[in-house]
């Protein structure tokens, strides 16, 4: 995901391209209970970026507030037809269970699913202890 992000950024330096890990997005959403204004500024930046990369959706602990915030982000980008690139190790069915059908139906309609098969390259570069 990072390589794709960097490649697009290199070819189109004038675009506003953002990349966020879903676990970091969830952490920020949870902190919003103390300072919602900070999160709303971050959410607005994600909503309005030219291209948004969201990495590892489905790995976070998704509270109702995280799910609602994720829906706001996906729905905004969906209705505005703004490119969003997502990655997950989970199936669409697992994502529907974790979030809800509102989110996954928007992803199904606007996203092209590409399944990567083969060995996890991260497994082969882990240091042995």
CATH label of the domain that carries residue 53: 3.40.50.300
Structure confidence at residue 119 as a pLDDT band (50, 70, 90): confident
pLDDT at 33: 66
Q: Look at residue 128 and tell me if it is in a domain.
A: no
Q: Look at residue 69 and tell me if it is in a domain.
A: yes
- Name the 3-class secondary structure at 47: helix
Q: Look at residue 129 and tell me if it is in a domain.
A: no
Looking at the 3D structure of the chain, how many domains does it have?
1
Q: Convert the pLDDT of each residue in 40-78 to its tens digit.
A: 888 999 999 999 999 999 999 888 989 999 999 999 999
Flag whether pLDDT at 126 surpasses 90: no
Mean pLDDT computed over 105-125 = 77
The sign of the dihedral angle between the CA atoms of 100, 19, 87, 49 is: positive
Q: Look at residue 125 and tell me if it is in a domain.
A: no
Residue 17, C-beta contacts closer than 8 angstroms, at least 6 positions apart: 5, 8, 9, 49, 50, 51, 52, 53
Range of the domain at 44: 2-110
Give helix then strand counts, H and E, for the chain: 7, 3
Q: Look at residue 120 and tell me if it is in a domain.
A: no
Q: Look at residue 119 and tell me if it is in a domain.
A: no
Mean pLDDT computed over 69-88 = 94
């Amino acid at each position: 995901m990072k390589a794709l992000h960097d490649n697009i950024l290199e070819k189109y330096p004038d675009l506003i391209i953002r990349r966020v890990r879903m676990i970091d997005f969830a952490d920020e959403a949870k902190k919003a209970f103390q300072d919602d204004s900070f999160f709303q500024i971050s959410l607005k930046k994600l909503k309005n970026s030219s291209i948004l990369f969201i990495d590892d959706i489905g790995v976070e602990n998704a509270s109702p507030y995280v799910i609602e915030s994720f829906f706001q982000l996906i729905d905004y980008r969906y209705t505005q037809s703004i490119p969003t690139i997502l990655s997950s190790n989970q199936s669409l069915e697992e994502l529907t269970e974790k979030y809800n059908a509102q989110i996954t139906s928007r992803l199904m309609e606007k996203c092209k699913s590409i399944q990567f098969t083969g060995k996890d390259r991260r497994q082969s570069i882990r240091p042995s202890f």
